Chains A and B, each alone.
Chain A
């Protein structure tokens, strides 16, 4: 596209054209109105003067007769800038006045008419126009009094010329202004386009130029810059995550490979080969689980799982998970309890169950009281309460809170934000098996449902809460089925 083509395609230029048309139209109609009014005014003025003079002269004729009339007419006709006068006898011949010739038939009809005429003293042959009034005097004489229309015509000419000029000026100034504004806008847009192209080419650090005027383009540029900032941050986050993933998947893969290599290198018995293979399968199962967890998190984070939501009671989920994990907790020397009230919500039951299961698994793995970790005899001094894990489903305001609390060492406040990141395994957990994805998934599930994952202190211990917006309006219907009986482990 040529530069000019680009210019006339700009919005600014097109707007200019529209305004130009409107202004020209406005100027033309203003002048038109002015011209028409002036013409009317002049005509009115002529009519008034002629009427007055006709009355005056008829009067003179009445009082002083034909002689008086002729003297008066001749006098007046000689004045500079005089009106037009003509008196004719009953037979039609001119007696007095300054009119040499008239269009035929004008004198025969009484009243107003516009006619071409020529003055007596004029040499040129050009026709003039006049507005005249013909009056019949007593005894057959006729009197014509009129006024030349040259003045009116000239005025009209001036107005027409003014109209031409003003329209021309409007067009020239308008076009000039339009091009100026359009080029200015175009330059800035071009600058922005240049930057965006650089960004599209991969340089995410580019930012749009922002002027100082604070106009709409600057505001747009500022907003776009803020957006770029966010995109850059997200991309960085993504990169970090994929680096982590690469690292945390490579480690078990390396282990897997090393074991296979080791088994291959040593000549062993069938039993040794078998056990090496079994370990290999175990290790790959672990990898598959990690992959599945990652996919599930990605799924939850991208919002794809939103399609599979329905209404259910979180109390049921809490009881189900309690039922599933209670024997496991007991085997680990803990007791798992559940306490629920009616908590209807809209969500993905499977994901919320899994999130809660992850929290319970964490509590079983890491929620042992600190002193329990000490060797020999420490168990005996422990209060039974400290080995309790509570699953709780309750409603607080417009939120459903699904929480799991233990009396373990907890997570230091500084580490809490960190704990939900993928593959992050806090100091205490490094020695235990696990993928480091449990809390990430729980957090992603909370986010998917428009809620969040909270950590609180249980003095001592940890309370992890999945806070999810409650189903509005459904509380009454489900309230009847409240199960707030704390279920003790059998």
Chain B
């Protein structure tokens, strides 16, 4: 899997009542070097979330004793702002809206791929680390000015379409992190359906031809089975 971008070990709390999927998650997260705790019902989850200092909470929506949304509501009421990713078998648009309204930061319908979950967790945890809202993003010799909408690579100024600019902006904001196709579709285009075609790949390849073509070091990488990542240097 991808190397974690954080220097300090990431601490996760997984609140999931299905034993098997919970064990799978804990094991998979430990393999990528995270610390993952487990709670198997809503009450236990709430108690642990309040006590421990976690970077991200992964909350199943339907839990015994206290359901996921009410757990998040209780946490937020007490001023706990730990990022929450909701996992749910309810994957329709209105379910996700409800989930996000109740205080969740991201929503992933089941079944999901672990790569997708991992990518989203990394993006969420980065949020906590402080404002990524710099006016200029830099990756290698690629520079993006969010105010003037200027993009330069080395000495060359690149001309991007508005949507290409937003795509690059999102990738650079999460430089060094894997960004999945669904995340791009959600955050750059604001669509929550999954297209049957490789429509995002085409946009990426257009962007790639503008920022990497003719340069020695490619910056925009394809991560097999997961998505894309912009970073300086070869992995």
Judged by a CB distance under 8 angstroms, whether B94 is at the interface is: yes
Q: Smallest CB–CB gap between A54 and chain B, Å?
A: 103
Q: Smallest CB–CB gap between A152 and chain B, Å?
A: 88
Judged by a CB distance under 8 angstroms, whether B97 is at the interface is: yes
Please indicate the chain B residues that have their CB under 8 angstroms from the CB of A328 in the complex: 197-199, 202
**Residue from the list B92, B97, B189, B206 in contact with A296, Cβ < 8 A:** B92
Judged by a CB distance under 8 angstroms, whether A211 is at the interface is: no
Contact (Cβ within 8 A) A281 B225: yes
- Main SS class of interface, B: loop
**Residue from the list B109, B193, B225 in contact with A354, Cβ < 8 A:** B193
A-B contact count (CB 8 A): 65
Please indicate the chain B residues that have their CB under 8 angstroms from the CB of A221 in the complex: none
Judged by a CB distance under 8 angstroms, whether A344 is at the interface is: no
Contact (Cβ within 8 A) A327 B203: yes
Q: Smallest CB–CB gap between A439 and chain B, Å?
A: 12
Judged by a CB distance under 8 angstroms, whether A51 is at the interface is: no
- Main SS class of interface, A: helix
The distance in angstroms between the C-alpha atoms of A361 and B194, with both chains bound, is 12
Count class of interface residues, chain B: 20 to 34
Contact (Cβ within 8 A) B225 A278: yes
Count class of interface residues, chain A: 35 or more
| With contact pairs A281-B113, A295-B92, A308-B97 given, residues A361 and B206 touching in the complex (Cβ less than 8 Å) | no
Judged by a CB distance under 8 angstroms, whether B135 is at the interface is: no
Residue of A nearest to B206 (CB): A327
Contact digits for B173-208, partner A, Cβ 8 Å, 1 yes 0 no:
000000000000000010111111111001100100
Judged by a CB distance under 8 angstroms, whether A325 is at the interface is: yes
Residue of B nearest to A282 (CB): B225
**Residue from the list B94, B109, B113, B199 in contact with A305, Cβ < 8 A:** B94
Judged by a CB distance under 8 angstroms, whether A364 is at the interface is: yes
Find residues 90-114 in chain B having any chain A CB closer than 8 Å to their own CB. Answer: 91-94, 97, 109, 111, 113
Residue of B nearest to A306 (CB): B94
Find residues 282-311 in chain A having any chain B CB closer than 8 Å to their own CB. Answer: 284-285, 288-289, 292, 295-296, 299, 304-305, 307-308
**Residue from the list A292, A308, A361, A490 in contact with B91, Cβ < 8 A:** A292
Please indicate the chain A residues that have their CB under 8 angstroms from the CB of B195 in the complex: 357, 361
Contact (Cβ within 8 A) A327 B202: yes
Residue of B nearest to A437 (CB): B196
Judged by a CB distance under 8 angstroms, whether A438 is at the interface is: yes
Judged by a CB distance under 8 angstroms, whether A324 is at the interface is: yes
Please indicate the chain B residues that have their CB under 8 angstroms from the CB of A324 in the complex: 189, 191, 199, 203
Please indicate the chain A residues that have their CB under 8 angstroms from the CB of B93 in the complex: 305, 308, 348, 350-351
Please indicate the chain A residues that have their CB under 8 angstroms from the CB of B97 in the complex: 308
Please indicate the chain A residues that have their CB under 8 angstroms from the CB of B111 in the complex: 284, 288
The distance in angstroms between the C-alpha atoms of A354 and B196, with both chains bound, is 11
Which B residues lie at the A interface, using CB under 8 A? 91-94, 97, 109, 111, 113, 161, 163, 189, 191-199, 202-203, 206, 225
| Extra 18 A-B pairs, beta carbons < 8 Å, given A292-B194, A324-B191, A327-B202 | A281-B225, A284-B111, A285-B113, A292-B109, A295-B91, A305-B93, A305-B94, A307-B94, A308-B93, A320-B191, A324-B189, A348-B93, A350-B191, A350-B192, A361-B195, A364-B197, A434-B196, A438-B196
Q: What are 10 A-B residue pairs whose CB atoms fall within 8 Å in the complex?
A: A285-B113, A296-B92, A308-B93, A308-B97, A325-B199, A327-B199, A327-B206, A331-B202, A350-B193, A434-B196
